[in-house]
Structure 1
Amino acid sequence: MNGTGALGRYGEELAARLLTEAGMTVLARNWRYGRVGEIDIVAHDGDALVICEVKTRRPGPFGQPLAAITPTKSDRLKHLAECWLQQQGGAPPGGVRIDVVAVLVPRRGAPLVEHVRGVA
């Protein structure tokens, strides 16, 4: 697997599978809103809307995937969630939650996938 694009797509595929296996319904992947940014995965978890950021890394100098969720990134995800809701006609009864799926892909062996709910 070469390049960050392929690694990122691989991580998003693992994340979508994990969320689906956890009983969520994936509504959209790589949803873009103009120049504001992109939501990796939008899903329903029961009656809640989940905005999910996927962070995929290999072990190395960039550290753990969850460390990439900075306050700035968190604010952007909240803004993107508002944009999604405006386009879709408002919030569902269960509200909105922002989750992160962190994927650590070692050089050998199975990837480690961690789902963290309600990070922002």
Structure 2
Amino acid sequence: MGRAAEAMARTHLERHGLRLLAQNWLCRRGELDLVMLDGDTVVFVEVRSRRHQAWGGAAESVDARKRQRLVATAEHFLQQEPRWARHPCRFDVVAVDSGGNPPAQLNWIPNAFDT
């Protein structure tokens, strides 16, 4: 369901006016599922999917360790893509919970790392 969830998330975000900058961007620190532009803001999007709720939902699976890795990977992205380094940035999570039954529930959480 991973790639299907990413495609669903990308379509949803594009319908809301975000523009794709990169998809599945890899470096030694990790991977960025989607990097998008919302106005002038660079948005690093983590897409999580779950079929079953046994270990919690998709959104809950983005723990502190995962957040640290995403931040480090985003910093590396901005070093490698300096044209975006002066733009404001944020981290969003798109959680896709299917519960084993279509249609899947999509939950977009803007600024997911703000506390």
What corresponds to 2:50 in structure 1? 57
Rounded Cα–Cα distance in structure 2 between residues aligned with 1:101 and 1:46: 19
What corresponds to 2:15 in structure 1? 21
- In structure 2, the CA distance between the partners of 1:92 and 1:48, relative to structure 1 (3 Å rule), is farther
Rounded Cα–Cα distance in structure 2 between residues aligned with 1:58 and 1:92: 38
Structure 1 counterpart SS, 2:99:
coil
What corresponds to 2:107 in structure 1? 114
What corresponds to 1:10 in structure 2? 4
Structure-2-length-normalised TM-score: 0.91
Rounded Cα–Cα distance in structure 2 between residues aligned with 1:92 and 1:105: 37
What corresponds to 1:72 in structure 2? 65
The Cα offsets for residues 78-108 of structure 1, whole Å up to 9 and x where unpaired, read as 1111101101115243x11000000011322
CA contact (8 A) 1:31 1:41 kept: yes
Rounded Cα–Cα distance in structure 1 between residues aligned with 2:55 and 2:3: 18
Structure 2 counterpart SS, 1:52:
strand
Q: Which amino acid aligns with 1:32?
A: L
Structure 1 counterpart SS, 2:100:
coil
Structure 2 counterpart SS, 1:16:
helix
Unpaired runs of 5+ residues, structure 1, are 1-6
Rounded Cα–Cα distance in structure 2 between residues aligned with 1:28 and 1:22: 17
Q: Once superposed, what is the RMSD of the aligned Cα atoms?
A: 1.2
Q: Which amino acid aligns with 1:91?
A: A
Rounded Cα–Cα distance in structure 2 between residues aligned with 1:11 and 1:92: 30
Structure 2 counterpart SS, 1:72:
helix
Q: How many residue pairs align between the two structures?
A: 112
